[in-house]
Each structure stands twice: as structure tokens, then as C-alpha cells.
């Protein structure tokens, strides 16, 4: 039987929303306070959902330790307590939470083979969240 498992992780990072293809005025008009050149930070909550048949021998979709290990190594170690704008992923990509969701989706989709990735959901604050399920 097919079920879906969601695991929630926390990380903290700073960012500045600024697009090189826009003028200064346009950046301020588009991003408002998020365009502050010094950046600002969030405590992000990341939810990773995998789906698949429940293995009759283990009662599990996949080994949770595998998922935790992968996300810790490939996602949290990379983004936690970092300035997102300084990372190669965002060298030419504005680190909005939309883009961050897609970047993290791609990392997990590409590298995690124990179960099928269904979606990535990120809460930037308690008031807003973003989901990405692939293209």
C-alpha cells in the first residue's frame, strides 16, 4: 500500500532579495525591505515528503535514518547558518523561498534514491510557506 512520509527540519539562513537584471528603483519597488543590502534572516522549516509502497518486511516507506542523513549532509550542512546569496546555488538566482524550494527539491530528487520525492515545502515564517513538486 502506498503512503507518504513527511519529515520536518529546521535551518536558519540570511538572504537579500535583489535581481541584477533590475534597476535599483525596480529592486526596491519589487522586494521592499527584503532588498536591504545588508540582508536579513529567517528560521526556515523544511518539510520533505517521500511516497511509495510500505515495505512489508520493515513497515516503512524508506529508512528514516537514510533520509535524515541525506538531508543533513546535502541540505542542512549546506544552507544552515549561511548567507544564501554567497552560495553557488544563488550566484545567478534570487534566493527567494520559491527558488530555495526548487533548489532543495533538485538536490533531494537527484541524490536521494531510497524513496520517491513527492514534494518540498518550506515555511519562511509562520505566515508564509512554499511548495514545489518538480516541473
What is the contact surface with other proteins in residues (CB under 8 A)? 1-9, 54, 57-61, 63-65
User: How many angstroms separate the CA atoms of 89 and 106, rounded?
Assistant: 11
User: How many angstroms separate the CA atoms of 24 and 102, rounded?
Assistant: 26
User: How many angstroms separate the CA atoms of 95 and 93, rounded?
Assistant: 6
Cβ closest to other proteins, residue 1 vs residue 91: 1
Cβ closest to other proteins, residue 6 vs residue 72: 6
Cα angle, residue 38 at apex, residues 89 and 108 outer, rounded to 5°: 20
Cβ closest to other proteins, residue 7 vs residue 109: 7
Minimum CB separation of residue 124 from other proteins in Å reads 17
Minimum CB separation of residue 99 from other proteins in Å reads 24
Minimum CB separation of residue 4 from other proteins in Å reads 4
Cα angle, residue 112 at apex, residues 65 and 66 outer, rounded to 5°: 10
Amino acid at each position: 500500500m502506498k503512503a507518504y512520509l513527511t519529515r520536518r527540519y529546521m535551518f536558519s539562513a540570511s538572504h537579500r532579495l535583489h535581481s541584477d537584471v533590475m534597476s535599483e528603483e525596480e529592486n526596491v519597488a519589487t522586494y521592499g525591505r527584503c532588498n536591504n543590502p545588508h540582508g536579513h534572516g529567517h528560521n526556515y522549516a523544511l518539510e520533505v515528503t517521500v511516497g511509495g509502497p510500505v515495505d512489508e518486511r520493515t513497515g516503512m516507506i524508506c529508512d528514516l535514518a537514510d533520509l535524515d542523513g541525506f538531508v543533513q549532509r546535502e541540505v542542512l550542512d549546506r544552507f544552515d547558518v549561511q548567507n544564501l546569496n554567497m552560495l553557488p546555488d544563488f550566484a545567478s538566482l534570487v534566493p527567494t523561498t520559491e527558488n530555495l524550494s526548487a533548489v532543495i527539491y533538485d538536490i533531494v530528487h537527484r541524490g536521494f534514491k531510497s524513496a520517491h520525492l513527492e514534494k518540498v515545502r518550506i515555511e519562511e515564517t509562520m505566515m508564509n510557506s512554499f511548495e514545489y513538486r518538480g516541473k
